[in-house]
A and B are shown apart, each in its own frame.
Chain A
Amino acid sequence: MSRRKPLAIVIVLLAVLAIGLVLPQWALFILTISFATGLVALGLMLLLRAGLVSFGQALYYCLGAYTAGALGRFFGVSDVVLELLAGAALAALVALALGFLLARYRGIFFGLLSLALSMILYGLLVKNEALGSTDGFNVLASTLFGHRPGAASLRYAVMACGAVTAAVAALAVHRYLETPLGRLAPAIKDNEIRVEYMGASARYAVHVKYAIAAALAGAGGALAATTVGHIDPEMAYWTTSGEFIFIAILAGTRNVLAPFAAALLYGAIRTTAYDLSPNTWQMSLGIALLALIVFLPEGLFSRLKWRRS
């Protein structure tokens, strides 16, 4: 399984890149946003494996988005790759600092503290006129390695960047899960006393996981910013975090490709619900999600596992 997974990731990547060539613009948009939210959910998966639920992952999503936006607004940089890297780096740095506080907490305290931190960012952005206050601001049209793709191929180029980023992230996380530190996650969830009495620091392990999750969320935020072309403080709002948790739970914690599949499914259901009933789309979305949770309690790929075992 572990040797076949990287191959599967590369095959899926190539398939997505090929299919993208024939997809209409709106579908490319949904696909790219799925990679963005899937990256956040992939980070949440790392935390969920250790038994931690962050209700504030929108903090890093929004940080990544504003980093990408600010690069264009203040420095004239619009390169997608640079935006993704900067978004991930800033989010990771902030998480490394905040991690000293958060890694000490577990359970509901960890969840609510992370929620509080994301709402602090929301509050700061809403009051900041240089960053557009509640309206946010527009993000420069994306460029790629100094080239500005034509209007027709821009969406595809950004989607391809998102797909490659998602594949690299999935490979890295897959690799990480097999390292001693990655293996510690379920151990921390099960029995922290034993972890300490084996000579390991659960707090350090949680700190590292938190920073990796933030970097992934930051990259996701930057990708969303350049795809949508506009950012606003809602990206840090708690309902945004809620969406990420939903996607992560839908994905389960066993498969590094599942977060992206779950994000795509979530995006598709949401779009369809809006299309069918513009005034009551939340209700349709809610019912669809409820059904998914009832029938796939362990995530998208749980049925697959049962059959195999």
Chain B
Amino acid sequence: MAAILDARHLNKAFGAVTAANDVSAAIARDSVVGLIGTNGAGKTTFINMITGYLKPDRGTIEFEGRDITRLPPRDITRLGIARSFQIPQLYSSLSVLENVLVALGVVLRNAGRGGYFSRGRPLVPGFEAPAEEAAQRLLERFGLAEYRARNAQVLPGGVRKLLDIALAMVAKPKVLLLDEPTSGVSAQEKFGIMEMVLKAVRGEGATVLFVEHDMEIVSRFAERVLAFYDGRIIADAAPQAALADPEVKRFVVGRRA
């Protein structure tokens, strides 16, 4: 299947630390890819380079055949790559509903429907509904409807994660990058959250890359695994094969082969 995202020979160093060392990966459309590795292995650097937060020292990134290596985050987002963050990035002084409305406003503007000064109730693309209705639908899909009036600052950890992902999904991205979607979430909630997120996201036909430390989550939800160690990809295979790889066992999972 054609690659939607194609990273080639990415290199990135922070002083003496090499965070990406000749990293190459082609991501197939409609796939779910898990990124694993110890802290500092280069997973988040990889995501940060794809979304434009960091520029690679060398190498190129193509999205649907277009070079996005040097684009700023907002242009990459507009092309159709969205992300969530390890620490949720919310508008803490606003309510859950207002958080989504702000995001929907940007979507309207980027779609050219009335622009930044739109009057009346233009339909949000992808929802084909006015902003308030679209927001309600999105909140329901992510199980957030009961929190809509709550201030984002006082939400429980798992709900913050969900809202962060919901904000990333507002623009109906073609590729969604999730940075540790279940970190800071209780063991009981983890599977539920992943199931809900993947159902919501896959329903939109988005390709998903997620960073995860929990191998149970990875083997259950990922179709393909990229294992990072010391800035390199040391394994790229289906979950069972990747997790059985001796190097992965030694450097990532932490068990002797």
Taking beta carbons and an 8 Å cutoff, which residues of A are in contact with B? 176, 179-181, 183-184, 186-187, 189-191, 193-201, 208
Contacts and interface: CB of A to CB of B under 8 A. Distances in A.
- Per DSSP, chain B at the interface is helix
B92 A191 contact: yes
Contacts of B90: 190-191, 194
Interface residues of B, number: 34
B27 to A, nearest CB: 19
Interface in B185-232: none
Interface string B74-109: 110110001101000111111000100111011111
A174 to B, nearest CB: 13
A195 B170 CA distance: 13
Given A194-B91, A196-B72, A184 B77 contact: no
Contacts of B102: 180, 183-184, 186-187, 198
Given A181-B117, A184-B102, A197 B82 contact: yes
Closest 5 CB pairs of A and B: A180-B105, A181-B116, A199-B77, A190-B91, A194-B89
Nearest to A199: B77
- Per DSSP, chain A at the interface is helix
Nearest to B102: A187
Interface of B: 51, 72-75, 77-78, 82-83, 85, 89-94, 98, 101-103, 105-110, 115-118, 167-168, 170-171
Given A180-B116, A180-B118, 17 more contacts: A179-B105, A179-B116, A180-B106, A180-B108, A180-B109, A180-B115, A181-B105, A189-B93, A190-B93, A191-B90, A194-B89, A195-B106, A196-B74, A198-B102, A199-B171, A200-B74, A200-B110
Given A180-B106, A181-B117, A196 B94 contact: no
B98 to A, nearest CB: 8
Nearest to A201: B74
22 contacts: A179-B105, A179-B117, A180-B115, A181-B117, A183-B98, A184-B105, A186-B98, A186-B102, A187-B102, A190-B92, A190-B94, A191-B90, A191-B91, A194-B89, A194-B91, A197-B82, A197-B83, A198-B77, A198-B103, A199-B74, A200-B74, A200-B106
Nearest to A205: B116
Contacts of B115: 180
Nearest to A192: B89
Most buried by B among A179, A180, A196, A208: A180
Contact of A197 (B74, B94, B107, B118): B74
Contacts of A189: 93
